[in-house]
Amino acid sequence: MSDEVVENDLIHCIYCNAGTVRFSEADMVSLLEKAREANSALGVTGMLLYEEGSFFQVLEGPAESVDALYEKIFRDKRHRRITKIIRESIEARNFSEWTMGYAGVTRQDLKEIEGLNDFFYTKKCFTELDPGRAKKLLEAFKDGNWRASLR
């Protein structure tokens, strides 16, 4: 018997935004501190990537909590032009040990992820990511070496 906890009604919601507000190191630390505390209370886990003013975030947890949190983030004045890329049911969490894993990444890093280099050569960071490419990015951080860069 596996001792894995089976959770019902689990979803993930993945969004990106088009570079808006610049976050200093201190801004990011403060954002993560608050987000991790709130997520822990809500049972939300996930990861957040940041590159030059653009974010890519995965929120996972009970559907109701994730949807409510996404609405809050969507209305947050610190970023605009948010696009929800994926919202779907999942069998299990990919980032269960992270109330919000974070990595600051560079364009160069992103080009090194298989299946994404064409995109990051020509596009603005994270914007216009389609569900297929968002999944590639998710897979890289879920299973690959990139996971080790989450803090």
Ligand X SMILES: Cc1cc2nc3c(=O)[nH]c(=O)nc-3n(C[C@H](O)[C@H](O)[C@H](O)COP(=O)(O)O)c2cc1C
Interacting residues toward ligand X by CB under 6 A: 31, 35, 38-39, 48, 55, 57, 69, 72-73, 76, 78-79, 100
Nearest distance in Å: CB 32, ligand X: 8
Q: Which CB sits closer to ligand X, 72 or 151? A: 72
Pick from 14, 10, 15, 49: nearest CA to 141? 49
The rounded Cα 92 to chain-centroid distance in angstroms is 16
C-alpha span between 84 and 102 (Å, rounded): 19
Nearest distance in Å: CB 44, ligand X: 6
Nearest distance in Å: CB 62, ligand X: 14
- The structure tokens listed for 74 are 């969507």
Cα torsion for 17, 29, 39, 66, to the nearest 10°?
Answer: 0
Q: Which CB sits closer to ligand X, 28 or 109? A: 28
Nearest distance in Å: CB 143, ligand X: 22
Q: Which CB sits closer to ligand X, 100 or 137? A: 100
Q: Which CB sits closer to ligand X, 41 or 92? A: 41
Three-class secondary structure of residue 59 per DSSP: strand
Do residues 2 and 80 make contact, with C-beta atoms less than 8 angstroms apart? no
